[in-house]
Amino acid sequence: MDLITEPLGYAFFRSGLAVSVLVGLLCGLIGVYVVLRHMSYIGHGLSHAVFGGAVVAYVASVDFYLGAGAWGFAAALIINWVSRRRRIGADAAIGIVTTASFALGVALISKTRSFTTNFEAALFGNILGVTLLDLAVVAVVTIAVSVFITLFYKQLLFMTFDPEVAPIFGMRTGRVDVLFALALAATIVASINVVGVTLIAATLIIPATTARLLTDSFGRMLILSALLGATAGAVGMYLSYWQDVSSGATIVLLEAAIFVLAFVWTSVGRHRSAWAAAPVEIVHGRPQVFDDL
């Protein structure tokens, strides 16, 4: 029991636990859309773009959340817009916009040498150093994104499944795309101080991909992904405390371990059902497989 209660005696752990559960939930929710839109690289890319924005905000003496948020939102919109051009794919659009933004951040850092240490938290995450403001921002973004996903459930699902056909069926895709870009940018900005630029892509992709392995229903995938993210956040924090390992890395490693388990479990299950479902009849010494579909 002490394993669970002892760390809770420390304020930094309580804040870290709360924020890691919320970030796990938030990234688990939005990650489902990222994975199903085949934009897994966007988490990695946008976090780099936001890093550039954070440096610009610092240099311009603008609040981190405001500067990085506006920068991330603009980057997400540009990616969206560029990837709609027929000749440029989403992956290339992400690569161009986000690396350019990251390069700008690096250039500014090299020009102004005094603040390199301030950005270590943004690069590698610092769950144990979260402030009340960080916690409040993560909580507000989690609530806002949850409301957005609930209200726009049908439109987001249709657009994710069939973006070309959704407008034909009366879905207002342009407006929802902009709101989704805003939600994604807000998620990354809110999470960046917690898990860091380098690990945020994993928290977006791994829970959603694991959930996809475990269910064929979109609604269940959404719930499962959020639960997996939140659980990995909580358990990862405790493991990090007791093993004295970086919290962000522990959470991501735990999510990866769950993914491997789910992958093995579903692969074995599929092999079994494939053998059970395909009756094989030996006719004249040759196997014939009958498919009743």
Taking the complex as a whole, the smallest distance from the CB of residue 169 to another protein amounts, in Å, to 6
217 binds another protein (CB under 8 A): yes
Q: Which of residues 74-113 bind another protein (CB under 8 A)?
A: 86
User: By CB under 8 A, is residue 44 in contact with another protein?
Assistant: no
Stretch that binds another protein, among 190-198, 217-225, 237-245, 246-254 (CB under 8 A): 217-225
**Phi (first) and psi of residue 10, to 5 degrees:** -100, 135
- Position of tokens 């027929």? 86
Q: Is 218 in the site for another protein (CB under 8 A)?
A: yes
Of 255, 140, 244, nearest to 191 (Cα)? 140
Does residue number 146 form part of the binding site for another protein (CB under 8 A)? no
Closest approach of another protein to the CB of residue 73, in Å:
24
Residue 292: strand, helix, or coil: coil
Question: According to the binding rule CB under 8 A, does residue 244 interact with another protein?
Answer: no
Counting contacts by CB under 8 A, is residue 158 touching another protein?
yes
Q: Which is nearer to another protein, 219 or 279 (CB)?
A: 219
Count residues near another protein (CB under 8 A). 30
Find how far residue 226's CA is from the centre of its chain.
10
CA distance 177 to 17: 32
Hey, is 287 helix, strand or coil?
A: strand
Does 285 contact another protein by CB under 8 A?
Answer: no
Q: For residues 170-199, which are near another protein according to CB under 8 A? A: 170-172
With CB under 8 A as the contact rule, the residue among 66, 165, 257, 278 that binds another protein is 165
DSSP 217: -
Output the smallest distance, CB 165 to another protein, in A. 5
**Number of residues in the chain:** 293
Contact 99, 89 (CB under 8 A): no
What are the residues whose beta carbons fall under 8 Å from the beta carbon of 11, sequence distance 6 or more? none
- Do the Cβ atoms of 125 and 194 come closer than 8 Å? yes
Cβ(131)–Cβ(194) under 8 Å?
A: no
Q: Is 148 left (phi over 0), alpha (psi -120 to 50) or beta?
A: alpha
| 162 makes contact with another protein (CB under 8 A) | yes
Shortest spacing between CB 148 and another protein, in angstroms: 11
Which two structure tokens, joined as six digits, stand for 161?
Answer: 């499944």
Encoded one letter per residue, x for contact with another protein by CB under 8 A and - for no contact, window 248-277 reads ------------------------------
**Is residue 167 close enough to count as binding another protein by CB under 8 A?**
yes
Contact residues: another protein, CB under 8 A: 36, 86, 150-155, 157-158, 160-162, 164-165, 167-172, 212, 215-221, 293
